[in-house]
Amino acid sequence: MIEKAMIEEYGWDAERAAQFEACAGPGLVPGRVVRQARDLSTLMTPLGELAAEVSGRFRHEASGPADFPVIGDWAVVEPLGEGRGLIHALLPRRSAFTRKVAGEAVEAQVAGANVDTVFLVSGLDGDFKLRRIERYLATAWSSGAAPVVVLNKTDLRPDLEAVIAQVEAVALGVPVVAVSALAEGGLAGLEPLLVPGRTIALLGSSGVGKSTLINRLLGEERFRTSSMSDATAGRGRHTTTTRELVRLPGGALLVDTPGMRELQLWSGEESLDRAFGDIEALAARCHFPDCRHEGEPGCAVRAAAEGGLLDGRRLESFLKLRREARFMELKKDAKARRQKEKAAGREFAARLKEVKRNKPRYQ
């Protein structure tokens, strides 16, 4: 019988237990990834923390980087003794924050799994941008987690109410919480969201104050922070290099991820529907059902922008993200075709080799 008290504090529930029983065998235990560094995962299990790598079979059957354990994953683990373990499988992910890997490779990268709520942290300093918030919202909605916009450094904005109104206009239906990670009582607005056993991910660009925010929530200086010189003000530097899931004093779980210098959309256009629901509603009134909102006659979206009912900058942001999403889909389709052609070529070569091997020899 598995001692569940320890892992229940990390989000273990009846659904997870049923999934585990369906795929696990004797001697195996469930565990949640609480730290991730390169190929080594640290998992919280009924036996305590285990440092584990994936099995050879797991590695062989994985189709890409997105299949490997990430922070927040639930795994089937074989204890090996001396605090070590072997990961044989992952339980189904309820949510996954997925993006394109940096660079030219057409590969998905999962930054965190089984996240319930995504705090999209934006600093109210010189680097504050509504368009960046729209981009994060599109990516967050596609993850399967519920987004919350967190505006940090409220002491820097005397026009705070106006800024909040601007953010609410682009974060349709999404809670917007203004905080000050450095002020006493400055995080009160987040307290209703810190539910025991629920997992929260903090996402945002470098310098928005994520590490300071986590330290305040934890009540200790656990994560290194950095001050910004005049030369780098508003841009910040990465202060987190590994991913970690930590328990807050009240029981909520928090995932910290390194600042994202390159946030390219991985999901298709469907991720834009919720982030830009106002534009989707206007598009239903366009003359052409496949209107691209780029100059077609009878375009209700363009008419709304020209009439001042829709911010033209928001429309351009939507069109830019849509182009990115479509371009990514084309790249993924092209990669799939190449892989299919290579597989067909290998199959043909194998058959040809077999034919030559069995060809009758005549004297």
pLDDT in tens, 271-284: 788 889 999 999 99
- Cβ neighbours around 281 below 10 Å, total: 13
- pTM comes to 0.78
As given in the structure block, the two tokens for residue 67 are 């299949």
What sign does the dihedral 124-129-134-137 (CA atoms) show?
Answer: negative
Residue 38 binned pLDDT confidence (cut-offs 50, 70, 90): confident
| The pLDDT value given to residue 287 | 93
Q: What is the mean pLDDT of the chain?
A: 84
> Under 8 Å CB-to-CB from 50, ≥6 apart: which residues?
31, 42, 43, 77, 79, 83, 84, 85
Q: What pLDDT digit, counting tens, does each position of 209-246 carry?
A: 888 898 899 887 766 655 444 334 444 444 445 678 99
Task: Please tell me what DSSP assigns to residue 190.
Answer: G
Q: Domain 96-256: which CATH class? A: alpha beta
Assign 91 a pLDDT band (cuts: 50, 70, 90): very high
Average pLDDT score over residue span 162-167: 95
Q: Which residues contact 189 (CB under 8 A, 6 or more apart)?
A: 177, 178, 179
DSSP E strands, the chain: 29-37, 40-45, 48-54, 74-81, 84-90, 96-100, 108-113, 117-123, 146-152, 176-178, 199-203, 243-247, 253-256
Q: Are 112 and 202 in contact (CB under 8 A)?
A: no
Q: Please tell me the number of Cα atoms within 13 Å of 70 on its side-chain side.
A: 23
Q: What are the residues whose beta carbons fall under 8 Å from the beta carbon of 324, sequence distance 6 or more?
A: 264, 265
pLDDT tens for 183-216 read 888 999 999 999 999 999 888 887 888 888 988 9
If DSSP codes are grouped into helix, strand and coil, which group holds residue 291? coil
CATH fold label, 5-90: OB fold (Dihydrolipoamide Acetyltransferase, E2P) (2.40.50)
Number of H helices, E strands in the chain: 10, 13
**Segments making up each domain of the chain, as ranges:** 5-90, 96-256, 276-363
Class of domain 276-363: mainly alpha
